[in-house]
Chains A and B, each alone.
Chain A
Amino acid sequence: MSCEKFTENMSAYLDGLLSGKELSEFQEHLSVCNRCSQEAEELQSMFSWLKQAGDVAPPKELRKSVLAELKKEQSSKGRRYLPGFSQAVAAAAVLIMLVVGNLSLLPPAPLSDTVPMRATYQEESGAETPPADAIIYTQEAPDNVQFSEKSELNSAAGSEPFPRRLALNLILIPLFLFFSLRVIQKRKEAG
Chain B
Amino acid sequence: MGEFLETDEKILISLCKRGDLSAYDKLMQRYEKKVYALCFRMAGNPDDAADLAQEAFLKAFRALPSFNGQAQFSTWLYRIVTNTCLDEQRKQARRPQLFSLDKPLNTEDGHLALTLPAEAPDPLATALSHETEAEIKALLSMLPAAQRLVLVLRDMEGYSYEEIARILNLNSGTVKSRLNRARARLRDLYLKKEELFPPTVHLKGKEGRGRS
A65 with B54: CB separation less than 8 A: yes
CA gap between A53 and B184 in the complex, in Å: 19
Question: A164 in the interface, Cβ–Cβ < 8 Å?
Answer: no
| Residues of A close to B179: CB separation below 8 A | 11
Q: Which of A56, A80, A81, A83 contacts B37 (CB 8 A)?
A: A56
A58 with B61: CB separation less than 8 A: no
CA gap between A187 and B209 in the complex, in Å: 55
A-B pairs with CB below 8 Å: how many? 107
Q: Which of A10, A17, A53 contacts B161 (CB 8 A)?
A: A17
Interface residues on A, range: 35 or more
| Residues of A close to B29: CB separation below 8 A | 63
B61 with A59: CB separation less than 8 A: no
Question: A145 in the interface, Cβ–Cβ < 8 Å?
Answer: no
Interface residues on B, range: 35 or more
Given contacts A62-B36, A67-B24, A70-B24, contact A50 B136 (CB under 8 A): yes
| Residues of B close to A45: CB separation below 8 A | 190
| Residues of A close to B127: CB separation below 8 A | 54
Question: B156 in the interface, Cβ–Cβ < 8 Å?
Answer: yes
Interface positions of A (Cβ within 8 A of B): 7-8, 10-12, 15, 17, 39, 42-43, 45-47, 49-50, 52-59, 61-63, 65-67, 69-71, 74, 80-81, 83, 189-191
Beyond the given pairs A49-B136, A58-B36, 11 more chain A to chain B contacts, judged by CB atoms under 8 angstroms and listed by A's residue number, are A7-B180, A10-B184, A11-B179, A15-B154, A15-B161, A53-B133, A54-B128, A56-B128, A62-B36, A62-B54, A63-B32
